[in-house]
Amino acid sequence: MARSRNCEGSTRRDCLQFGLGGLIGTGLVNGLRARGESEKEGANPKATAKRCILIWMDGGPTHFETFDPKPDAPAEFRGEFKHTKTSVPGVLFSEHMKKLAASLDDFSIIRSIRHNQGNHGAGNHYMMTGAPPRIPVGCGAFVSFHPSMGSVAAKELGKDNGLPPYFSMPQMSRSGGPNFLGARYAPFVVADDPNRSNFKVRDVALPRALAETRFNTRTDLRAKIDRMVRLNDEAAADPVAAFDEYYQQGYNLVTSAHAQAAFDISQESEEMRNRYGRDSFGQRCLLARRLVEGGVPFVTVYDGGWDHHSNIFGTLKTRLPKWDNSVWALIQDLKERGMLEDTLVLALGEFGRTPKISTLSGQTTPGRDHWANAMSVLMAGGGTPGGTVIGATDRKGYSAVDRVLSPENFVSTVYHKLGINPAKVLYTPQGRPTHLVSDPTPIRELV
């Protein structure tokens, strides 16, 4: 499988390497000492969603060619694609979003989120956490200044059911980690492709040469070793503690029939698998449904390659219909199973794309650059009203101009729907109070 690159040339593997150093450097291991208890400012909101699937469109998806076309703008703004009517009169989507357009009654679109972080690292952090980076960061930075939505949901909603409370497939977004919340709230990464016939999740299957009784014996031996005196976790950083979290997580997965069943995508009918689309993204959406159905409160489907500085129309002409089908299938499948009422589905990236099409320096085909003044976000389920379009951009798509919203408003809405108080105060291992979201105001039309 080809490795996805964004404009700074970083690959998935690079991001994971950056992430290891970044997580250690920003105190992830120290975060294991956090007591993690919060002071409340008011009661938690009533949850309308028990779980969340986040489709992260890494690179910054264009709003013009997806959910906010500008058919009346000059050609250099509106682009090559035509538009299609949706199920809501007067609302248009791109011509390659036909299935989602026909089912807009099942979800909402936000067209008016804007911020001031126009590079990948900072934009990713802002939309993943609701917290702007505290210092300037480069385009390729693996940024972790604040816990991500997934890690917060894992802490607040996780249950002891044999499955980790937070998954990310096939990798963790650069700002999708727990920061000071600690290693236990980092995502469990499913790197393998569920569309492969020999799909396998690491740490879930026992090696053939290792019988379960022998495995249990080794576990008992480790438990005896662990009785040895080590540094007090509350008083000083203990690197072993972070390993302990992952060891226990892996052990639980290996020994849990519940976990084995959730990962076994082969239990799905061929009809259902084909409905989602027989490619990596489609099958990850299907696996995400199986995981939330199994009790996982937060799953991220990392979907890279949306950084279209060049060949935007040639690339999206092929990609968008497949993406449209997979996201539509996920929403419809949840609806038919009676799960959409309490499952939140999100699709977004770090920002939108520039209004004016251009051939950038070093490129040979036209594209759109980074643009944080306007972006579109899909939200479905968990009490989200269907057929709703919130806010608007101007005629040429330069900026959000009506019902202008911030990443804080968006993230507060997600927490509100999950029954998490966005005004909660967390404490770092050093005792420093940190607001979960600095502006805890949710988007009223969605809650």
Please report where in the chains the tokens 């379009």 appear, as a residue: 389
* Average pLDDT score over residue span 390-410: 97
* Average pLDDT score over residue span 375-388: 98
Assigned domain for 20 exists = yes
Percent of the chain's residues with pLDDT above 90: 70
Percent of the chain's residues with pLDDT above 70: 77
What pTM value is reported for the model?
A: 0.85
Per-residue pLDDT tens over the stretch 115-145:
999 999 999 999 999 999 877 666 655 667 8
- Residues in the chain, total: 447
Residue 124 in contact with residue 351, Cβ under 8 Å?
A: no
Q: Is the pLDDT of residue 226 over 80?
A: no
The pLDDT of residue 58 is: 98
Enter the tokens of residue 318: 């092929």
The pLDDT of residue 215 is: 55
Q: Is the pLDDT of residue 100 over 70?
A: yes
Enter the tokens of residue 137: 């960061």
Element (H, E) at 347: strand 343-348
* Average pLDDT score over residue span 261-287: 97
- 3-class DSSP assignment, residue 190: coil
DSSP codes of every residue in 146-182: S--HHHHHHHHH---SSS-SEEEESS--TT-S-GGG-
Distance of CA 15 to the CA centre of its chain: 15
Q: What is the total count of domains within the chain?
A: 1
Say what the alpha-carbon torsion angle 265, 165, 407, 136 is, to the nearest 10 degrees. -110
Rg (CA), the chain: 22
- Residues contacting residue 120 through CB under 8 Å, at least 6 positions apart: 6, 7, 8, 58, 59, 60, 139, 140, 174, 307, 350, 370
The pLDDT of residue 246 is: 60
Q: Is the pLDDT of residue 267 over 50?
A: yes
**HSE of 328 in the Cβ direction (CA atoms, 13 Å)?**
19
The pLDDT of residue 260 is: 83
Q: 108-142 burial, b for 16+ CB within 10 Å, e for fewer?
A: bbbbbbbbebbbbbbbbbbbbbbbbbeeebebbbb
Beta bridge partners of 370: 353
The CA-to-CA distance between both ends of the chain, in Å, stands at: 40
* Average pLDDT score over residue span 426-443: 94
Of 197-206, 228-237, 292-301, least confident by mean pLDDT is: 228-237
Q: Which amino acid is at 9?
A: G
The pLDDT of residue 53 is: 99
* Average pLDDT score over residue span 228-254: 54
> What residues make up the domain containing 375?
12-199+263-446
Of 212-221, 306-315, 421-430, least confident by mean pLDDT is: 212-221
Assigned domain for 244 exists = no
Q: Which amino acid is at 101?
A: A
Beta bridge partners of 109: 378, 389
- 3-class DSSP assignment, residue 427: strand
Per-residue pLDDT tens over the stretch 14-55:
443 333 333 333 333 333 333 333 334 568 999 999 999 999
Respond yes or no on whether the N-terminal peptide bond of residue 366 is cis (omega within 30° of 0): no
Instruction: Give the single-character DSSP code of 105.
Output: G
Assigned domain for 240 exists = no
- 3-class DSSP assignment, residue 299: strand
Question: Which one is predicted more confidently, 224 or 305?
Answer: 305
- Residues contacting residue 82 through CB under 8 Å, at least 6 positions apart: 71, 95
Assigned domain for 209 exists = no
The pLDDT of residue 203 is: 58
pLDDT band at 324; cut points 50, 70, 90:
very high
What CATH number corresponds to the domain at position 349? 3.40.720.10
Element (H, E) at 51: strand 51-57
Please report where in the chains the tokens 């969603």 appear, as a residue: 49
* Average pLDDT score over residue span 48-66: 98
The pLDDT of residue 234 is: 38
The pLDDT of residue 133 is: 84
pLDDT band at 238; cut points 50, 70, 90:
very low
Residue 299 in contact with residue 56, Cβ under 8 Å?
A: no
- 3-class DSSP assignment, residue 31: helix
Q: Is the pLDDT of residue 268 over 60?
A: yes
The pLDDT of residue 136 is: 64
The pLDDT of residue 333 is: 98
pLDDT band at 244; cut points 50, 70, 90:
low
Per-residue pLDDT tens over the stretch 181-208:
998 899 999 999 999 999 988 655 555 5
Tell whether the torsion through CA atoms of 273, 279, 285 and 287 is positive or negative: positive
If you average pLDDT over every residue of the chain, what do you get?
85
- Residues contacting residue 209 through CB under 8 Å, at least 6 positions apart: none
